[in-house]
């Protein structure tokens, strides 16, 4: 097991990503093609920036990435990549939405790898994660274009099926994804909604 983790850690370092979590987006991209060339991507909970860097490379120079986190984040600006606008703040704060809107009124994909600061109380952590996932879905509803994509982390547990049903009600398809690069013992899964409002 440790070897698998070391594999992704080393791979991320070699490929210039600050975190191994990048492969949880890359695997979904390779299988489901959620990010398109020239697309606009909103990345919620972006720090230290791996998903944003990957998204910026994938959508290319005609695209746009707006990213936000409780922690200040920087990076990008390389040839062939979309510009990344890093915002520092809390997504539960309504004022953040106006700051996002200042960069783009609509997005083709909203991705969220947000995780609460874990307390060790499994039930409380799961409820916090679910609250962040629901906030991400509400933000996605404000910003996604018709046909847009939503990819969101949530800790498995009570009410996750209800959350998947909420995504299913808003998207053409909804599925739960567990990337190989996500530790098997981790309770995280990703909910992927494709085809917003169609
Ligand atoms: C697993 S990390 C994200 C890693 C990132 N996807 C990457 O590949 O570099 C989860 C992030 O969610 C952020 N987060 C948690 N709650 C948040 C909130 N309410 N608003 C904004 N960011 C939040 C945390 O600060 C943390 O940096």
The pLDDT of residue 108 is 98
- Residues touching ligand 1 (Cβ under 6 Å) are 19, 21-22, 45-51, 68-71, 90-92, 113-115, 132
Which is nearest to 107 in space by CA: 75, 136, 143? 143
Out of 46, 94, 128, 182, mutate this one to test ligand 1's pocket (max ligand atoms within 8 Å of CB): namely 46
For residue 113, count CB atoms less than 10 angstroms from its CB and return exposed for 0-12, middle for 13-18, buried for 19 or more. buried
In a domain, 165, yes or no: yes
Residue nearest to atom 10 of ligand 1 (CA): 114
Task: Classify residue 58 by its DSSP letter.
Answer: H
d(CA 128, CA 176): 19
In a domain, 53, yes or no: yes
Number of domains composing the chain = 1
d(CA 6, CA 8): 6
The pLDDT of residue 156 is 95
In a domain, 117, yes or no: yes
Q: Which of these is catalytic: 14, 153, 178, 180?
A: 153
Task: Assess whether 2 carries a catalytic annotation.
Answer: no
Q: Token digits for 88? A: 């520092």
Q: How far is the CA of 62 from the centre of ligand 1 (A)?
A: 26
User: Domain containing 44 — which CATH number?
Assistant: 3.40.50.150
pLDDT in tens, the chain (198 residues): 556 668 899 999 999 999 999 999 999 999 999 999 999 999 999 999 999 999 999 999 999 999 999 999 999 989 999 999 999 999 999 999 999 999 999 999 999 999 999 998 999 999 999 999 999 999 999 999 999 999 999 999 989 999 999 999 999 999 999 999 999 889 999 999 999 999
Phi, psi of 184 (to 5 degrees): -60, -35
In a domain, 96, yes or no: yes
d(CA 47, CA 160): 24
Residues 6+ apart with CB under 8 A from 56: 41, 63, 65, 76, 81, 82, 83, 84
In a domain, 129, yes or no: yes
In a domain, 29, yes or no: yes
Q: How far is the CA of 69 from the centre of ligand 1 (A)?
A: 6
Q: How far is the CA of 66 from the centre of ligand 1 (A)?
A: 14
Quote the pTM value.
0.97
CB 80: neighbour CB atoms within 10 A?
8
Domain containing residue 155: 24-196
The pLDDT of residue 77 is 87
For 49-60, letters b (16+ CB in 10 Å) and e give bbbbbbbbbbbe
In a domain, 63, yes or no: yes
The pLDDT of residue 6 is 84
In a domain, 120, yes or no: yes
């Amino acid at each position: 097991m440790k070897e698998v983790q070391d594999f992704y850690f080393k791979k991320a370092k070699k490929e210039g990503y600050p975190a191994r979590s990048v492969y949880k987006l890359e695997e979904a991209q390779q299988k489901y093609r959620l990010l398109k060339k020239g697309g606009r991507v909103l990345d919620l909970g972006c720090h230290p920036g791996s998903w944003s860097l990957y998204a910026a490379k994938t959508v290319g120079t005609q695209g746009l990435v707006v990213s936000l986190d409780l922690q200040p984040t920087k990076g990008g600006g390389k040839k062939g990549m979309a510009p990344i606008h890093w915002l520092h703040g809390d997504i539960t704060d309504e004022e953040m939405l106006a700051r996002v809107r200042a960069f783009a009124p609509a997005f083709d994909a909203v991705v969220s790898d947000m995780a609460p600061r874990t307390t060790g109380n499994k039930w409380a952590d799961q409820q916090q994660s679910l609250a962040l996932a629901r906030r991400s879905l509400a933000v996605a509803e404000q910003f996604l274009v018709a046909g847009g994509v939503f990819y969101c982390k949530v800790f498995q547990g009570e009410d996750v099926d209800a959350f998947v049903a909420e995504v299913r009600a808003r998207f053409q398809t909804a599925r739960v994804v567990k990337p190989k690069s996500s530790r098997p013992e981790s309770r995280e899964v990703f909910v992927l909604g494709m085809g917003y409002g169609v």
